[in-house]
Amino acid sequence: MKSLLLPAAVLVAVVPAAPAFAQTEPSNTASGVPTTPAEPPTTSNSPFMISGSAALVSQYRFRGISQSDNKPVVQGSFTLAHRSGFYASVWGSSANANDAVNIGGTEIDVYGGYSHGLGQSGVTVDAGVYGYLYPGSRRAVGISENYYELYASLARSLGPVTAKAGVYWAPSQSYFRRFDTATRYNLYEYAELGTALPGIPLLLHAHVGHSGGGFDYAGHDYVDYTLGASAKWKALTADLSLVGTNLSRHDTSAADLALGTHDFHRSAKPVLVGSLTASF
């Protein structure tokens, strides 16, 4: 997730083979929710699996908010997963150094956790720790924007549909004290649905999330959403998604005032986000 720089004001993937955006997460989809690494194939002699991805994205949106000043970015990820269910990942994205939300122009996320299926129930549990690093923030604004969240989710296939629900909890930490936020924690809840269309290589996915606490824009909680479709061909995945929030121009005027900008609403309004991801 991205920092706000607002002083006291302010599925297992849901869709298989969904492209990385972060989180979203992330690691990240257009919704900003990280994708749990796939389990290593049981036919392999090694208990480990290494995977990665590289993506071109029309703009980086995280939980509905642009992190790249509505400009294109490149992103990449690397994951090491163990057959037991433990995994560790690194994900990175370029950004615009002049963006009001992502100061410094670069984000590197490091996260790890455990994913496990609960017997014959068809439910998969995933939990871990997610760290967000901004190498250029201290040089840009004199303050480190780094922070972390704890996450957990449940996912299950319901016929042709995959459903997932989860939470991200940012406990009290130095980030909130550095930026003097009114609330010293943040809770993000989300739900997702995904399904494959029969007979054609097209996947439909939907996401809705709610953020409340120290990461609030305009001084109150907000909702973000994603509606999209992706198509996979060999190692390539193309995705087109509508991404937005319920923040109005009046809501984001507080952010404009705090950040000295005049168009923060542009970063929160609905927009189509396209991506092309290569997996390896």
> Which pLDDT score is estimated for 14?
31
What are the structure tokens assigned to 217, written together?
């824009």
Chain segment 49-79, per-residue pLDDT in tens = 999 999 999 999 999 999 888 899 999 999 9
pLDDT in the model for residue 33: 57
Residue range 151-175: mean pLDDT, rounded: 96
pLDDT (mean) for 181-185: 84
**What is the CATH code of the structural domain delimited by 48-279?**
2.40.160.40
| In the chain, where the domains are located | 48-279
Most confident of 9-23, 177-191, 257-271: 177-191
CA-to-CA dists, residue 106 to 50, 114, 133, angstroms = 24, 27, 9
Nearest to 244 by CA among 227, 260, 256: 227
Angstrom distance (rounded) from CA 39 to CA 27: 15
172-210 as b/e: b if 16+ CB within 10 A: eeebbeebebebeebbbebebbbbbeeeeeebebbbbbb
What distance in Å separates the CA atoms of residue 91 and residue 25, rounded to the nearest whole number?
Answer: 9
H/E stretch holding 251: helix 249-259
In this predicted structure, what is the pLDDT of residue 257? Answer: 67
222-261 residue pLDDT tens: 999 999 999 999 999 999 999 999 998 888 877 666 666 6
| Residue 25 confidence (pLDDT) | 40
pLDDT of residue 7: 29
Determine contact, residues 185/213, Cβ cutoff 8 Å: yes
* Whether the model pTM is above 0.75: yes
Tell me which of 83 and 257 has the higher pLDDT: 83
pLDDT of residue 59: 95
pLDDT band at 266 (very low <50, low <70, confident <90, very high): confident
Percent of the chain past pLDDT 70, that is, above it, reads: 77
The mean pLDDT value for 184-203 works out to 95
| CB-based burial label for 229 (10 Å; 0-12, 13-18, 19+) | middle
First vs last C-alpha separation in the chain: 25
